[in-house]
Every structure is written in structure tokens, then in C-alpha cells.
Chains A and B, each alone.
Chain A
Amino acid sequence: MKQSSRIFDLLVGLGLLGISGLGLLYFLINERFEWIPEFALELARDPQILKRPKAEKCSECHKNIFEAWKESRHSISWTSETFIEASENRSKEKCLPCHIPQSVQGEKPEPRMDLRDEGIYCVSCHFIDNKMNGPYDLLAPPHPTYRNPDYVRSGFCGSCHQKTFKEWKATKVEDTCQDCHMPRKKGRLTQKKGLNLLHKKRWVGDHRFLHGKITEKDVILETGWEEKFFSLSLKNNTIPHFVPTADNGDPRLYLYIQFFNDEEEEVDSAKEIIAPQQETALPYNKKINFRYRLFDPVSKAVVELKYQPAWSKDKQPVFSKAVTR
């Protein structure tokens, strides 16, 4: 009886020791990693990561971020058919810096020569001076990691999205690019078994770089009739940059207006192309007016708005409204 009680005490003691050890490790990794001597960390470094690795290498630990990025337009910035066509088989110099950036650091990057198929990938944005940079100061033994506050600021995205950044800045809206396009969720930065439990959960940005859906709540339509004219206005009510927006791409809103007489016959039509490259995109919180001369008697207008992203030939409906006189 005495013997078994001793074994039990030993096991409990070992268990407590183990738990305390793990607790200490967790505390060290998450709260006091600066206590770990540099030489000990050097032993854990992965030299391959310090040589501008492919995204797949990063995915060995950061699986969730990698999978989100794979779904993003960034991951196909060099390989998408739309890009290849628009850049005349990638020969246009102006496209290269942002479609295959060497290092994004707040101003227009230089294009890179290697791993071009990776597009805008982990290394482009996070690898500076042989260290990984991000929004957190934390311990990641395979590579040195440094906190850089720029990662949660719009200026970082503005390295390439320069026009959109200027548009956003002019609105004075506080929500940053990351707030809308990289909404954060609590989660672990690494999914490597075992290691993941040693790292506390943090706010992690969505690396799909979301592109919101434009709805009738975003673009407000107002209409009016005069004897010989039909007028309408569109207002970008919610999106704190121009809609659509692009530095070099050509996204568009197509506005169609059909005019009908009392017999429901179409007597005339009009069309507007609302596009950043034509300087007709809708600024934030400002009404843009259109006016049409009516040459025939008209009793009804149907106003339809459709959105075509830069990377697609398909148009998505935003709204369709009938307006009677």
C-alpha cells in the first residue's frame, strides 16, 4: 500500500513538474522570449527560410495564412491570364514592380528576377534585411521576427495601391485598408503540431485580401424628371475610396438607362462607364450627376448598375430600378 502511494506521489510530482515546465515554456515563448539567449535561437534557425523561400516553405508552419493567400489575387498576380494579356505577355515595365515585387516597404517596389510565379507572396511583404517582419514582436525560432507597425497601416498597401491610398487619405476615414480588406480574427499564427499550442492566439489578418461586394447600400441612386430631361445621381455612400478604384487595372461600373413610353416600348437608351481609368469613378460620399435629353415621350426609365472587376469579363448586378414619371 505504501509502495503504491509513493508511486502515485511520484507521478503526481512528475505531472506537476511537467505542467509547470510547459507553463514556463509557454510564458517564456509568449511573454519573455527576450530572455532566451541568441545563441540558443541560432541553433533553431532554418537557413532555408533566410534565403527568400517559396511560399510553400512558409506554409510548413503558417498553413492557414498560406491557404488564405492561395485564394487571393496576390498569389496569381504574375500567372493570371488577365494580367498576362493586359501586360502584353508581361512585357510592360510599368506592371512589373507591383506584380512581382522584390520587397514592399512603403514605396513603389523594385521588380524581382526570381520566383516570379509566386506573385506577391510572403517574402515580398514580410522579408526585409534577412528577417521576417510583421505586426507582432514574437518568438519564431526558425527565423528572426520583428514588429513593424507599418503592417497595420494603409501606407504599407499604398506602396503599390498608390492611387487608392491617396483616395482613402482624402476621405479622412479612420478605418485602414487592413481593417476592411484583411479583417482580423483570433487564431494561431502557426499550425505546426505541438508548436501551435505553445503560441498564444493573436489577431491574424485575412490573407485572402478580401474584395467586398458592391450593393445598393453602397451606391445610392436618386432620380428626377423634367419636361425634356431625365436626371439621376449616384453616390458612393460607404466605401472610403473611389468606386471602382485601381492604379492600373480597369474595373468598371456600367450604368444602363432604358427609356420607355406609355406602351412600354423602349424609345431610347443611354450608358455610362464609371471607371478609374476614365476618371469617372465615384468619389466617397459625393453625388455624381447625369442628365439625359428626352427626344421622345417617356413615362418610365429603368436604371441598372453592374460591376465588372479588373480581372473578369463578367458583370455582377448591383441594382436594377424602375422609375416612373
Chain B
Amino acid sequence: MKPFRVLFIALAFAGLAVPIQAKDMVVKEPPESLSKYYPPQSKQPKWIQQMHKMSTHFGGVFVNLKEKDFENVDKHANKLVEEYKKTSEMVPEWEDYFDVKAAEEFAAAAKTHDIAKAGKASGGLGRTCGKCHAENEVSVWAKFHWPSFHKIKVTDPISEKEIEFDEYMGSISSSFKGVTVNFSEGQYGRAAKALKIFKSRFMELKSTCSKCHAMQDVKRFYVGSDADTAFAGMSRELNADKPNPGKFWKNIGLLGKTGCKHCHLVHRTNSFIQEMWEKPE
């Protein structure tokens, strides 16, 4: 019987943690009323904190049922209902996602101190969470947990003019091509001049990263020692009397695999979503 109970508890947790799966996902911009639960309107990200509170009380019921600490089971069950009700009133547009009766039924089942009954009653409650997560979690994270790329302005180190981030990425790409195309054609002097411009623009990204990232180590993950090594290597080849193409391209690869790829893998998906909301149609 014991292994089944454990499995049951695991499934009950999974019901809350995993959203209802859907192959077609619509990423809809969250309602404006949610903004008051995130900085700057709020001191803390209150909405996600509220999610954590409910999740903790839900988990607290099962942890204590397993430990047969029934006093704490009751406390968590009561608190869960209290927080669930509170959450249901926070964003009027999302009121329908909540089923307070399901939360109360779960609490009542938990208070019988029968783990099987609690597990069974958790399904209805878990589905309300899962439905909202499936439909809104991605957009809430995209809007409130990720600063917007499209509002970032970058000072182009070459022109010293402030330009939009997207435009800046275009200028990096162009200067990169200035290096690779000239090198491929054996125009090493031109490639060296283009490299100075490309390096300057690439390194400017450290300042761009710092607009959001406060920690040096995070910035260095994108523009760090690999970039320094790659640029030093390319520069060495272009300053040599006979540049070694193998070494040159190896460094281009290093820069691409670390700097470009790291950033694009982490940030681009979210940036695409924000772009849909922020760019005029």
C-alpha cells in the first residue's frame, strides 16, 4: 500500500506543477491589472510570491500527512484556502480560473487526515492551477520577469549615436561580415580594420548586458574570456605577415559558439514574444 500512497502524492504534486498540455499555445498579453503585483508598482513581485505561498501550503498538506503531523496538515489546508481565495480576487480578468469550492473540498478532504482522500480531492484543485498556467504562465514570465529588449537603446561605439537594440544587432552583423568577407578574399588590411569595428561593437554588448544583469559573471557568460581569446587570436593573425586561415576561422567559431549562441539561445525566444506585443502592427 505504501508505494501506492507515495505514487499518489507524487501525482498530486504533478497535478499542480505541470500545466495542462496543449499543442497549440496562444501567448496572450497578460491583463494590465496584473502590473500592480510587479515592480515598479509593487515593491516585490507579489504575484509570483502568491503562487509560491499556495504551492507551499499545498505541498505542506502532503508533507505533513506523510509525517502524520495532523496539526500542521490542518494549518496548511486552512492557509491554502485563505491564500487561494485571496489570489482569486487579485486579477479580476482571471477570476474564472479559480474554483474556491474545489479548494475548500480539498481542505476538507485533507482534514480527514486520509492521504488517499486528500490526493483524490487535489485533482479538481490542481486542474484550476494547471489551466491558468497553461494559458498564462509563459506570457506572465515574458512580460514581468524579462526586461524588454525592444526598449533597450545602445550607444554605437563607432557613430556614438544611441540606436534601438534591433538596429544595433544589425550593425554588429554587418561589421562581422566586413571581417569574414574581407578575410575570405585575402584582403587582410581591410579585414583588420573591419575587425576593430566589429570588436568595438561586440564589446559594447557588455554595457548592454549590464542594463539588466548586475552580476559580472552573468555578463561574462556572454561576453567573457572566450570572446577575449577569440578577438586576440583573430587580431594576432591579421597582424602577422602571413595570416593562418585555420587559426583565424577557429576563433570566429569560438566567438560564435560562445558569445552569439549563448545569448541567442537564452534570450531570443522571449524577445520574439515581446516583439509581438511591443512593435506596432
Contact = CB atoms under 8 A, between A and B. Distances in A.
A279 B211 CA distance: 14
B210 interface: yes
Nearest to A88: B151
Given A96-B40, A279-B206, A279-B216, A86 B189 contact: no
A98 B2 CA distance: 53
A250 B210 CA distance: 9
B147 A88 contact: yes
A273 B157 CA distance: 8
Given A275-B207, A278-B206, A293-B192, A92 B43 contact: no
A26 to B, nearest CB: 45
Interface in A97-146: 110-113
Contact of B43 (A88, A113, A275): A113
B148 interface: yes
Interface in A66-100: 85-86, 88-94, 96
B186 to A, nearest CB: 15
Contact of A295 (B153, B189, B214): B189
A248 interface: yes
Interface residues of B, number: 31
Contact of A85 (B153, B158, B160, B200): B153
Given A271-B157, A277-B210, A91 B200 contact: no
A97 to B, nearest CB: 10
A92 B239 contact: no
Given A85-B153, A293-B192, A273 B210 contact: no
Given A88-B148, A273-B157, A273-B200, A110 B43 contact: yes
Interface in B151-165: 151-153, 157-158, 160, 162
B40 A90 contact: yes
Contacts of A110: 43
B203 interface: yes
B196 interface: yes
Given A96-B40, A110-B43, A293-B239, A278 B207 contact: yes
Nearest to A313: B162
Interface string A270-300: 1101010111100000000000010100000
A199 to B, nearest CB: 38
Of B158, B162, B192, B214, the most chain A CB neighbours within 10 A belong to B214
A270 B192 CA distance: 12
Contacts of B207: 250, 275, 277-278
Contacts of B148: 88
B204 interface: yes
Contacts, number: 62
B188 to A, nearest CB: 10
A227 to B, nearest CB: 13
Interface string B231-264: 0000000110000000000000000000000000
A96 B214 contact: no
Contact of B214 (A90, A248, A268): A248
Contacts of A254: 160
Given A85-B153, A96-B39, A293-B192, A91 B147 contact: yes
B192 A94 contact: no
Contacts of B216: 279
Of A85, A91, A278, the most chain B CB neighbours within 10 A belong to A278
Given A85-B153, A88-B151, A248-B214, A93 B239 contact: no
B196 A91 contact: no
Contacts of B239: 293
Contacts of B214: 94, 247-248
A271 B193 CA distance: 12
Contacts of A91: 39-40, 147
Given A85-B153, A92-B147, A271 B211 contact: no
20 contacts: A88-B148, A88-B151, A88-B152, A90-B40, A91-B40, A91-B147, A92-B147, A92-B212, A113-B43, A247-B214, A273-B157, A273-B200, A277-B206, A277-B207, A277-B210, A278-B203, A278-B204, A278-B207, A279-B216, A295-B189
Interface of B: 39-40, 43, 45, 147-148, 151-153, 157-158, 160, 162, 189, 192-193, 196, 200, 203-204, 206-207, 209-212, 214, 216, 219, 238-239
- 9 A-B pairs closest in CB distance: A277-B210, A277-B207, A278-B206, A90-B40, A93-B39, A88-B151, A94-B214, A293-B239, A295-B189
Given A110-B43, A313-B162, 6 more contacts: A88-B148, A111-B39, A271-B158, A275-B207, A277-B219, A295-B193
